[in-house]
Amino acid sequence: MAVSDQVNAEVSSLRDEINTHNHRYYVLDDPQITDQAYDRLYRKLQAIEQQHPELYSTESPTQRVGSPPATHFKTVEHRMPMLSLDNAFDEGEMHAFEKRLLDKLGLGDQALHYTAEPKLDGLALSLLYQQGKLVRAATRGDGKSGEDITANARTLPSIPLRLFGSKVPSGIEIRGEVYMEHAGFAELNDEQRNIGGKVFANPRNAAAGSLRLLDSRITATRPLTFCSFGIGWLEGYDLPDSQYQRMSLLRSIGIPVSAYIERVEGVQGCLDYYQRILAQRDSLAFDIDGVVFKLDDTTQQALAGNVAKAPRWAVAYKFPAQEVMTRLIGVDFQVGRTGALTPVARLEPVSVGGVKVSNATLHNMDEIHRKDIRIGDMVIVRRAGDVIPEVVAPVVAQRTGELPLPKMPELCPVCRSDVVRQEGQAAYRCSGGLICAAQRKEAIKHFASRKAMDIEGLGDKLVEQMVELGMIQSISDLYHLDLSQLAGLERMAEKSASNLLQALDTSLSTTLARFIFALGIREVGEATAEALALSFGSINEIMQADIEKLQQVDDVGPVVAENIVFFFAQQSNRDIVQNLIKQGIHWPEIEVTESSQKLPLAGLTYVITGTLEGLSRDQAAVLLKAQGAKVSGSVSAKTSAVIAGAKPGSKVSKAEALGVKVLDQAGFESLIKINGVSID
């Protein structure tokens, strides 16, 4: 039987009324009805929908109960990267932050305005709306891509399934934080204790764990809240030039925004705001670990640009770390990827900021001696946010009798090789190199990582399993693995094994810079590896270079040069490099000139977006860098040109807005050929 117009109208009216009350409660913080009245409306709508299942709609406020368990979360790319924030820890660093901005913008002593808001201690989330409808929610992940947790996000009442108002963007990616208030956290832990479930250490862990459950029906029962802190990608809408006004716009279309957001003037305004929020910290209904300041003028934001993975125009001013006292009962030594032995304190378990801590870093032996830390001391332990807990100092007044200083072992605790210390270096290191199982595992994990050889499917647990079974003695053994070996591993089906072998085969085609970085030479990061590749053009040239020649390369100082020479002085490392090349690892040739300043594209900066035909973005970047250009991930007024392939992102729109030239594939190919590089 068809549903009457009267029932349709009643359902539509109830949904609109409930959505309006949700908006007033979660966004405006101004509820107009009691909880009991709200519950009556909700139950009435629920009853009508149950009686008329043909009225089912995914956008109904009753459809936040979750869905059957998923088997996994798929990975999705953000429309624009989710950047992290640089931190400030004192007033001096805040003054330095503003001075850098004034210098960058060329504004002298002119006053800057900032948007200020508390830094919520939760899990970052990106919400994608198309035509006003929520179509995807994803975790931050590595900043470029995250896990698709749409089913879970849909269960949060504070996240609108459809944006409010008649004038909404045709497409918008909203960034924010999911968190759990103290009261909800306490109730959840009480329930967990009653059913014998997991008791969470703090609200952040509870929020993160709840949002990443495979069963969204459980997520729906958790007291999670969403609050936005900004906009990522956008289309079909002209935004105001003010960060504060943009946040007000989000609130007007139904997105929750912090009730504590303010617009302040100058660094003094930032410091005053910081003190006001710090004074309220203990009385707030939720955890915060600092405050965030962003340039309010979005044109100035674009001019300031980004550095690495963080914007220059924003900073998180962190609150003082929380500290407690406990007893140091012993010291263990962990061997890292580069062979460094790090002293780790074994503590009588203690709760720091809601997290149970039984281990903490002691940094190095020099720090232990400088602080005069003894085994058996009462010590002060500090933990700030997600930072690894550290032993700050001993409580000497509580020391009784003669207590022993921790001693560095003479032999590696993993492989029993000699422990050595280079002159002038703080770290002690295992001399066992790749024969040391601890270094072997970490070296292989690093080698396979995304920014190195990018071997998809070769996760940490799989590496550890293969090393422990003796299948891999060094990184070169990866390319000797066969299907029968892999398929016989725990939790490794034949399909997964076949995919891993394909990923290994794909990784054979790389770049020299990635290969150098993948070797895991101490203090040789991505930028240094890139500089070495462009300066020498050959791995053999790098292996033969002495300290003096290496120091002629940008980004290579005496310590890094010594590390490179020391690495390649080990015959085992040279043998592994040669074995990897014999096994087929290769990269495009790089033409080296006497001076990078003479390269035709020196001093120019390019941004690549979209899909290029016949070559990847990495390959295009190599061709540009070979001619002295820099390749950036973000568009600014100083960008020389944006190279746009098929289906480019919003970088093209930003380039056009800033008056930056946009090159299509034909233009890119002309640029490269004109400057003497073949793309064949």
Report the candidate in 163, 231, 178 with the shortest Cα–Cα distance to residue 22. Answer: 163
State the Cα–Cα distance between residues 496 and 89, nearest whole angstrom. Answer: 46
Report the candidate in 339, 290, 233, 289 with the shortest Cα–Cα distance to residue 94. Answer: 290
For 139, phi and psi rounded to 5 degrees? -70, 165
State the Cα–Cα distance between residues 676 and 670, nearest whole angstrom. Answer: 10
In the chain, count of helices (H) and strands (E)? Answer: 24, 24
End-to-end Cα, the chain, rounded Å:
67
Residue 385 gets the label, from left (phi > 0), alpha (psi -120 to 50) or beta, of left
Q: How many CA atoms lie within 13 A of 392 on its CB side?
A: 12
Element of type H or E holding 382 = strand 378-383
Query: Are 378 and 396 contacting, i.e. CB atoms less than 8 angstroms apart?
Result: no
Report the candidate in 579, 582, 578 with the shortest Cα–Cα distance to residue 539. Answer: 578
The verdict on whether 119 is a catalytic residue reads yes
State the Cα–Cα distance between residues 266 and 510, nearest whole angstrom. Answer: 47
Q: What angle do CA 142, 144, 145 make, to 5 degrees?
A: 75
Give DSSP secondary structure letters for 90-105: SHHHHHHHHHHHHHHH
Give DSSP secondary structure letters for 284-299: SSS-EEEEEEEESBHH
State the Cα–Cα distance between residues 535 and 541, nearest whole angstrom. Answer: 10
Residue 429 gets the label, from left (phi > 0), alpha (psi -120 to 50) or beta, of beta
Q: Strand 641-644 and strand 605-609: pairing? A: parallel
Distance (Å) of CA 670 to CA 52, 606, 620, 665: 63, 15, 13, 9
449 has which bridge partners? Answer: none
Q: What is the DSSP letter of 519?
A: T
3-state secondary structure of 231: strand
State the Cα–Cα distance between residues 629 and 588, nearest whole angstrom. Answer: 17
| Amino acid at site 514 | R
- Which distant-in-sequence residues (6+ apart) come within 8 Å of 2 by Cβ? none
Q: What is the 3-state secondary structure (H, E, C) of 621-659?
A: HHHHHCCCCEEECCCCCCCCEEEECECCCCHHHHHHHHC
3-state secondary structure of 41: helix
Q: Which of 74, 99, 119, 549 is catalytic?
A: 119
Query: Are 512 and 587 contacting, i.e. CB atoms less than 8 angstroms apart?
Result: yes
Query: Cα 525 from chain centroid?
Result: 17
Query: Are 69 and 214 contacting, i.e. CB atoms less than 8 angstroms apart?
Result: yes
| Residues known to be catalytic | 119
